[in-house]
Amino acid sequence: ILNVEQSPQSLHVQEGDSTNFTCSFPSSNFYALHWYRWETAKSPEALFVMTLNGDEKKKGRISATLNTKEGYSYLYIKGSQPEDSATYLCAFIVSSGGGADGLTFGKGTHLIIQP
């Protein structure tokens, strides 16, 4: 079983502040890394799919970077808003040749934005 670590486990941030959190994963046999946002009472939704070392992706106020050589990805949220409150999951895929492996998820970072 692969080990995907996310830190911190939970985070309280004031509205308007920027924040970031980390996903660490095994650097060997890297295939892809996903970030998902999971709001309470909803299904997880994909934010980013990252495949190349040095990838930077952005969606509105949220961005992510990827370092496959050292095995980490950062997620950044600029100017946090209450609607950003959610659990953010990263998930890792190892290359198996078939490209059909399931994701190994981290336990998530639970983000609470305080007005």
Partner 1 sequence: DVKVTQSSRYLVKRTGEKVFLECVQDMDHENMFWYRQDPGLGLRLIYFSYDVKMKEKGDIPEGYSVSREKKERFSLILESASTNQTSMYLCASSFPGIYEQYFGPGTRLTVT
Kindly report the number of other CB atoms within 10 A of residue 63's CB atom. Answer: 17
Q: Tell me the C-alpha distance between 104 and 102, whole Å.
A: 7
Beta strand spans in 16-70 (E): 19-24, 30-38, 45-50, 56-59, 62-67
Select 65 or 101, whichever has its Cβ closest to partner 1: 101
- Kindly report the length of the chain: 115
CB of 78 to partner 1, least distance (A): 22
Q: How far is the CB of 63 from partner 1 (least distance, A)?
A: 17
Q: How far is the CB of 35 from partner 1 (least distance, A)?
A: 9
Closer residue to partner 1 (CB): 7 or 81? 7
Residue 77 or residue 90: which is nearer to partner 1 going by CB? 90
> Which of 34/62 has CB closer to partner 1?
34
Neighbour-count burial of 60, counting CB atoms closer than 10 A to its CB (0-12 exposed, 13-18 middle, 19+ buried): exposed
| Residues near partner 1 (CB under 8 A) | 1, 31-32, 34, 36, 42-46, 49, 51, 89, 91, 93, 98-108
Question: Which two three-digit tokens encode residue 105?
Answer: 């998820």
Rounded to a whole number of angstroms, the minimum distance from the CB of residue 96 to partner 1 is 10
